[in-house]
Amino acid sequence: MTIPNLITILRFCLVPLAVLCITSGTWGWAFVAFLIAGISDGVDGFIAKRFDMRSELGAVLDPLADKALLVSIFVTLGIVGVVPVWLVILTVFRDFMIIGAVLVSWVMSQPVQIAPLMLSKLNTAVQIAFVALVLFAKGTGWPFPFLIEVGSILVTLLTIASAAAYLRQWLNHMAG
């Protein structure tokens, strides 16, 4: 087990803590847990690349930890009424669409390797920033209705654009 993989496992452990903090209304602690998880994502990647500790396990665990964190937090924020439910559905649907496309490709004996697109990386970064700002705003009492609206629009546009890009990539793969 490499150090980056241990850090990734720590990120998995922070998911239920952040969810618990949100559901109990301890927004400051939710922000701290999310911030630590976000920093750990950068740290594990840096260590893996800098010290040549990349592994197949890490290549699987890291994106799973990212998705577990973002999906769990988005769903929880939707449940407690801080983020619009339609936005939660959109972000979760995109992730399931990608997973579904990979599974369909595999079942049809046309396995596809879906490499992260730059647009998708931007989408993830904006989702992370949006969640961090929402948690920070709730934790500090900073008024945030405008932030939610602008962030929701940005996340929506990028989520739709990245879903369309992945769908186009998958359709091209299946056609040819």
- Tokens 């922070």 correspond to 14
Structure tokens at 122: 């931007």
CA of residue 109 relative to chain centroid, distance? 28
Per residue in 48-68, pLDDT (tens digit) is 999 999 999 998 899 899 999
Top-confidence residue, 131 or 115: 131
The Cβ-side half-sphere exposure at 62, using a 13 Å CA radius, reads 22
Q: 45-54, 79-88, 106-115, 153-162 — which is least confidently predicted?
A: 106-115
| Per-residue pLDDT at 114 exceeds 80 | no
Question: For 81-106, what is the mean pLDDT?
Answer: 94
What are the residues whose beta carbons fall under 8 Å from the beta carbon of 31, sequence distance 6 or more?
132, 135, 136, 138, 139
Amino acid at 81: G
Q: Is the pLDDT of residue 115 over 90?
A: no
> What is the overall mean pLDDT for the chain?
94
What are the boundaries of each domain within the chain?
Answer: 3-175
Half-sphere exposure of 167 (CA within 13 A, CB side): 11
Domain 3-175, CATH number (from 1.10.3720.10, 3.30.930.10, 3.40.1010.10, 1.20.120.1760): 1.20.120.1760
pLDDT per position as a tens digit, 123-168: 999 999 999 999 999 999 888 788 888 999 999 999 999 999 999 9
Identity (one letter) of the amino acid at 98? Answer: I
